[in-house]
Structure 1
């Protein structure tokens, strides 16, 4: 396969990280406590069988339903800007290994699906069903605050708007919550590689090309307002993307007149936003942890080709009318268990 070497490089890197983490893992030693009171003969101590402990579940699930006024990908492609864009996300994760006292803290695998809809799409066969995605991955938590994950996904277009896109991405993240600062910044870096399919941003190279990848540098600043008397968590997802200039433009003209070339750039998009999430405490714990959310995400297009791409998706009639920046508002609800 022409993409085999790219997959091998990603898997080899992930395998080395996992192998190192497993090699340094400490299985831990359980120490029994002395339950006998001082100066009391053992024969005088009544035997009471300890109640069995309830182990925490190794299977977790999640569901999220979001209603947005627009739909934009994290790469800065404005897909729709009319009607509503509901999105349903669901999945499961399985903990394969857990040890809070070792250098390797957790190993888990996960998978899920996502469905995007667009109320202004009236396809005769699929109606408002705009996109279907599925994904599988593995995640390793280590050194208490670090994590690394590798994920494979596919994006499909029910109405036939694009060829199936296949991606592989690797993420390394650090959780600084243990620092005790009022705000945890939670930085991360992500490598995204399109293995096959239509270009991620329409005007760029197709999947499987030598330049069909980019890097994302981001953070998720988090403030828990519970300490201030409000049962709300604020997050501000923020990132910037960089990659080969041809990832954003393979030579497509039209940044102005039809024959005007676009200024090439290695930068893609800068995005930041604010999300407020509040738990639904009236829901029984046996039904999972429910929540409601609301917020916005702002996008500033650093690459002119992303503005040109709007003329292909139908969110702009011409390059002159294309949006240099925009914001997507949303509300939603969901649960985890």
Structure 2
């Protein structure tokens, strides 16, 4: 066994004592280096929650789908939406800043009974999707939906949507933005429109081009959602089973005003009250034929919808 010289042993013991003091976090005073300065505590920023939720209840005088189908035009329509957002990845300073999984459900309840097996609960739609947010305001969303008729009016259809949107608010300043977006919508199984002849009905697709301009006037936010649908020839079907026709099928624009309910404590979520009106112009014979079946004797190419509601974000 080798023994250390006494001088080396003393230095080793001193070093061990200093290391122990640093590791324990206990302030120590050493000869020749007096210190009376207090160590300020480090404040840890609370971590951002990785789960959020949105509850929205929309109340309307019509149920009109984004594809222009006038499903209900009588009574009052209640359409609750519940979404849960799961943050899978978050790096605000990276090129890919965020990946979010969205899961949820949407339903439509009508005061007027309708459907093949008449009832008030008209539709139930499960929703799932992934959202990718990139540096510069670009976002890519890939969403799956299914439409289930609770009144047995049609077989459950399944669909996929790919949407690319751009937040251009930094370009304009002053709280204004155009928020342009494009989307591709594909039927995966069964039709999401009225079918007159199943033997000639095939799954199809359409493209959407839209903007959602908006600005704030005090606490009130105004938005003007506008879009057009460009459909494939087989997306809609005419009375005789022939294709409804391709090209421009739906033009929609509107105005929506919303105001936050700031008197509600933030620990109860962020509450917003909104109201708006939408105008639809329909330009497809198959779509018009389908609407004449959904809402009897209403073969109209211009529709107006009034709606309002409340949303709560947690």
CA contact (8 A) 1:268 1:302 kept: yes
Q: After TM superposition, which residue ranges in structure 1, 4 or more long, deviate above 4 angstroms?
A: 122-126, 203-206
Q: State how far apart, in whole Å, the 2-side matches of 1:104 and 1:287 are.
A: 31
| 1:52 Cα offset (Å) | 2.5
Structure 2: tracts of 5 or more residues without a match: 1-32
What corresponds to 1:336 in structure 2? 313
The answer (yes or no) to whether the contact 1:205–1:248 under 8 Å persists in 2 is no
- 1:42-69 C-alpha deviation (Å, 9 max, x unpaired): 9453112223321111111000001100
Structure 1 gap ranges (5+): 1-40, 255-260
Aligned length: 280
Counterpart of 1:245 in structure 2 is 233
Normalised by the length of structure 1, the TM-score is 0.77
Confirm or deny that 1:312 pairs with 2:312.
no
Does the aligned pair in 2 maintain the 1:69–1:83 contact within 8 Å? yes
Contact 2:214 2:221 in 1 (8 A): yes
> Could you say if the C-alpha distance between residues 301 and 205 of structure 1 is closer, same or farther in structure 2, counting changes exceeding 3 Å?
farther
| Higher alpha-carbon deviation: 261-270 or 96-105 | 261-270
Evaluate the alpha carbon distance shift between residue 124 and residue 268 of structure 1 in structure 2; reply closer, same or farther with a 3 A threshold.
Answer: closer
Determine helix, strand or coil for the equivalent of 2:311: strand
> Counterparts in 2 of 1:36-185, with a 5 A limit?
43-121=35-113, 127-182=119-174, 183-185=176-178
Matched, 1:218 2:210: yes
Q: Is the 8 A contact 1:204 1:248 kept in 2?
A: no
Contact 2:214 2:224 in 1 (8 A): yes
Retained in 1: the 8 A contact 2:244–2:287? Answer: no
- For the residues of structure 2 that align with 1:188 and 1:44, how far apart are their CA atoms? 61
Deviation at 1:304, TM superposition (A): 2.2
Q: Is the 8 A contact 2:114 2:122 kept in 1?
A: no
- Please identify which structure carries the higher strand content: 2
SS of alignment partner, residue 255 of structure 2: strand
- In structure 1, C-alpha distance between the alignment counterparts of 2:244 and 2:106, rounded to whole Å: 34
Instruction: Give secondary structure in 1 for the equivalent of 2:170.
Output: helix
Q: Secondary structure at the match of 1:118?
A: strand
Structure 1 residues 69 and 245 mapped into 2: Cα distance closer, same or farther (>3 Å)? Answer: same
